Amino acid sequence: SLDRYLQLSRMVRKEKDRLEGLAFRSGSTLATGGVRERAERSTDYLDELTLEKEATRADAEGAIEAEVALVISNNSGSGALERAERHSIATAHLSGVTHPNHDALDQAISQTLVDHGVQLVVLAGYMKALGQQTLQTFHRRIINIHPALLPAFGGKGYFGGNVHRSVMESGVRFSGPTVHIVTGGYDEGPIVAQKVVPVLDDDTPDTLAARVLIEEHLLYAQVIQMFASDMISWRGDRVVICPQTQ
């Protein structure tokens, strides 16, 4: 939820001193334009980590060469819908309330995306399984971000605090976000990109979540830019990242 997202953002700022010492910067060669610049200024990024400020800054820097054509939510009171409306972005509430029949809902989601000229569907906290028509219409053009290194700690039931709690209980030394293509199964699609984040000895699920969240913001922006720059290709069922052409 928006409240939870902002709560974690506040925790990130409390982690600032430790993060500076551990040099968590996204120096990936895949980063482009404003995305790379923002990653190199990790301290400034942490200071400004709120939804509204980061979105405004990313837009101003041209970090992503794309536009948000539409925001769909299954929650009519979603903060995402309110925020989109403030920025004059088209919105739609589509859920079991508006369409009690699952196939009808699937049809409505797919058609609404098509009607607004959507080329890439970016899931952000959308917890419902997409229907077959939407998956087929946007085959290999729907992405999701998961707060762990898939295929570990993924699948049904692995969301939010459950993921980070499971990571802590397992004793692994690393975690981090994964961006993947959405298919019919939860967290089962081909992996596009990942970012490794250390699990510290004194971590709690919440402090780990806050650290992973930093990299989620950067990684998702990078991957969206990859799609916008036609850097994504396929070798069978495997995603291949191609160099950006000038």
Residue positions annotated with a catalytic role: 146
Alpha helices (H) along 65-148 = 79-86, 102-115, 132-137
**CB-facing half-sphere around the CA of 101: CA atoms within 13 A:** 4
Alpha helices (H) along the chain = 2-14, 16-22, 33-40, 42-47, 51-61, 79-86, 102-115, 132-137, 161-170, 205-228
Four-residue CA torsion sign, 156, 161, 163, 167: negative
Q: What is the token pair recorded at 91?
A: 């919105």
> Residue 185 and residue 63: Cα distance in Å, rounded?
31
